[in-house]
Amino acid sequence: MLAACIGAAFVAGAIGSAVTFENVRTWYPALAKPSWNPPNWIFGPVWTTLYVLMGTAAWRVWRTGFTARPLVMGYFVHLLPNALWSILFFGFKQPAWALTEILMLWVLLVWLLVGFWRADRLAGLLWLPYVLWVTFATALNSAIVWLN
């Protein structure tokens, strides 16, 4: 199950990367971005680390038993909006649509954080960097919408 949890995160990431790859080199550089926009090379290592942490957190919650089933289902379901953000932002080149979507994703991530924390404290701690990164990504997405 650990491999399934981590593997599913990487599948969602691959979907997002497929629509991001070309546009991050062509369309994205032309956008006005805030001074605190990280360099492009940072996103790969950050997301790779987050996928491992996310999957491990979900697996730890799964191990706690049947009552954690809605949380684990929520984990797998949340991977759809996770991938959808890249499709909206980079694929459709719609930062405003992506901002609306990432706000909804953030709410789901916080719900999962609370549930994971209650089910297994270490799972909650493993999930926290993901919530923090998406919080940062939301601020960045918002700034890009504002500047463009």
Which tens digit of pLDDT belongs to each residue from 64-106? Answer: 987 789 999 999 999 999 999 999 999 999 999 999 999 999 9
Domains located in the chain, CATH noted: 2-147 (1.20.1260.100)
Q: What mean pLDDT do residues 26-33 have? A: 96
Q: What is the pTM of this model?
A: 0.94
CA dist 115 to 23, 67, 86, 108, 118, Å?
Answer: 36, 11, 26, 11, 5
Q: Which two tokens stand for residue 118?
A: 């209650």
**pLDDT class for 4, splitting at 50, 70, 90?**
very high
Report whether 67 contacts 57 (CB < 8 A): no
